[in-house]
Structure 1
């Protein structure tokens, strides 16, 4: 199954590049990722729990980065074995370019599955692979984009507002419980 898409990320190209090389950021972004350790140079070991149709499995595998052109492009490749469920493997060619809004991240994904997963049928597996890729890159965009800081007066007013809400909720709960 192949997928092609792009996302505009409101961050500099160097920030996006650094995030692609970070185990912590990748762990946050891979749906179902329980653990990810390692480095961009040596590759990452990952544990991912996923449910595809009726099949739920824990995949243990490796993610490697190759064909790296600093700040411009790389290939993310992953392969995981899910015991009786089978295996999943895939690769994403990622390119970065500057746009007025920040960085344009373009990706081409190729994914394959085998074992029980392959028996689910192409439509189920293709839909799942598309959802996973979309979710990964959406999570990645959210993790990288810098959220604007609230002005000091708004930030100061926030705890007061929360305290009022808590008091209001407590009062409502007391009334319901007859207290």
Structure 2
């Protein structure tokens, strides 16, 4: 029990520190690092071969995913973006960048499909090949420090369970952060 409390406190402190570091970056630095990340992701064979990819829609301090989305649409990929509820998240298909621009904004100023919006979910489409995940920090071995709500952790587990049940390959998760940011 004591170890769990200690781990939670360490993560909370690390989140605060990373938020301070990221907020100190200039717009130019963020744009430059977003380009580096996009180029790295787009060069990956896993991205090039993926048919269905989920993307987070960026908050101001995060890597901008618009370039990756543009490339994905241009290369014929099916693209999915999150719809958040209080406790959960699901990915829904978007047609193009213009479609994303029409989505209403959440309280975090992030576009997301409405509850009443009849869109195909990633699971209904057959599952995902890749998920571009946000995070405040990433470890070299693939560990991710999110914002603490567990949305992506739960969703990735859901995707892995779906893949196992349908005998498909689980989606690859790609960290959307340049090492220079951390």
Larger strand share, 1 or 2: 1
The TM-score, its normalising length taken from structure 2, stands at: 0.29
